[in-house]
Amino acid sequence: MGMWIAILIVLFVLGSMMALKPSGIDQRLDKLRMTARRLQLNPKLVTCPDWIKGKDNEYGRGMMGQYCLILENTNLPFTRYQVIDGQWRPDSSFVDTTTDDNKLIVPTAIRANQSNTHTAIKKPNVSLDKMPLDLPVSIEPYVKGLLTKANSIVIYWEDIAYVRPATNPAYQQKLIESDLLALKEKLEEWALQMQKIL
């Protein structure tokens, strides 16, 4: 009887230890984010912003990766872009893209707080409008949005889909760094493109 109790205790301890071990997908995701951190892409897991289509193609639903590149001595405008048909398109809640003359649509909450009627509002920077993503094929399908402000450019993407075998069967750990370097290069290129317009 004592031997059966000892066997049960050993099995219980081993089972608990196995439950603590991260899954293969979690290990891959950790490797991706650690590499991104080393390349100064500052990864974070955030709730999907309300202007981006997230889980089940619904705005603001689910979680996604936010990778932020901080550019010293840079001043970028506040802009938001979504991916539509493989191209960057300005967030339609700020820019009316139906006319040739892009207008800034000021949300009601902001208009209500404006006491000075002579406040000058700059037209939004839409220099990336209709520009193709041109990212590695293992990253591009999962990119959802881009945000720029002050000295940072932020990309929102489903980084877990990059490491999940069901969504990316061609995943290879040795390609993580080259894919992330290509992503960083494109972020720098887009930031430079936006600065030329300023």
Average pLDDT along the chain, 198 residues, taken 10 residues at a time: 83 74 86 96 95 88 95 90 92 58 48 49 72 92 94 95 91 94 96 79
Direct distance between the N- and C-terminal alpha carbons of the chain, in angstroms, rounded to an integer: 80
Domain containing 136 equals 22-90+119-197
Would 181 be classed as within a structural domain?
A: yes
**Other C-beta atoms lying within 10 Å of the C-beta of residue 118:** 5
**How confident is the model at residue 157, as a pLDDT?**
95
Residue 11 placed within a domain: no
The 3-class secondary structure across the chain, one letter per residue, is: CHHHHHHHHHHHHHHHHHHHCCCHHHHHHHHHHHHHHHCCCCEEEEECCCCCECHHHCECCCEEEEEEEECCCCCEEEEEEEEECCEEEECCCCECCCCCCCCECCCHHHHHHCCCCCCCCCCCCCCCCCCECCCCCCCHHHEEEEEEEECEEEEEECHHHHHCCCCCCCCCHHHHHHHHHHHHHHHHHHHHHHHHHC
Residue 152 belongs to a domain = yes
Q: Is residue 2 included in any domain, yes or no?
A: no
Count the domains in the chain: 1
In-domain check, residue 137? yes
What pLDDT score does 108 carry? Answer: 46
Q: Is residue 164 part of a domain?
A: yes
**Interatomic CA distance for residues 33 and 44, integer angstroms:** 8
* pTM across the whole model: 0.77
pLDDT the model gives residue 119: 47
pLDDT of residue 123: 58
Q: Is the CA virtual torsion 163, 165, 168, 174 positive or negative?
A: positive
Residue 111 lies in a domain: no
